[in-house]
Homo-oligomer: A and B are copies of this chain.
Amino acid sequence: MSDQPADAAQAGATPAQEPAGGTTPPELLSLRASIDNLDAALVHLLAERFRCTRAVGALKARMDLPPADPGREKIQIARLRDLASESGLDPEFAEKFLALIIDEVIHHHLHAREEPQA
């Protein structure tokens, strides 16, 4: 990190260890440290989720099941909207988030189908 410019925005991007730089208020630096930690957790959970969906893709390709499953997706959307409401997340955002994931998953599944079977 020592080769990066030490401007205020930079200081906010790295949690905890970074000294409060320039004109960024300490309260903002503290909130950004939490956000950066949550983002790291989100990225790791997404990586694990795609490990699962890649396994689903391989299974579906092996068993010649269709990549998309509209019935399952409808139920996932309803469930995530409910979980979002309970936890104070905008259900519309939760639905957009799931749509982004499902697009990526279907892309992976189609790709898995094109690859030779392991």
Q: B-contacting residues of A (Cβ < 8 Å)?
A: 7-10, 12-14, 25, 27-28, 31-32, 34-36, 38-53, 55-56, 59-60, 63, 65, 69, 71-72, 74-76, 79-80, 83-84, 87-90, 93-94, 96-98, 100, 104
Contacts and interface: CB of A to CB of B under 8 A. Distances in A.
Nearest to A72: B9
Given A71-B7, A100-B100, A27 B87 contact: no
Contacts of A52: 31, 34-35, 38
A90 B46 CA distance: 10
Interface centre among A7, A14, A74, A89 (most CB of B within 10 A): A89
Contacts of A39: 49, 76, 79-80, 83, 98
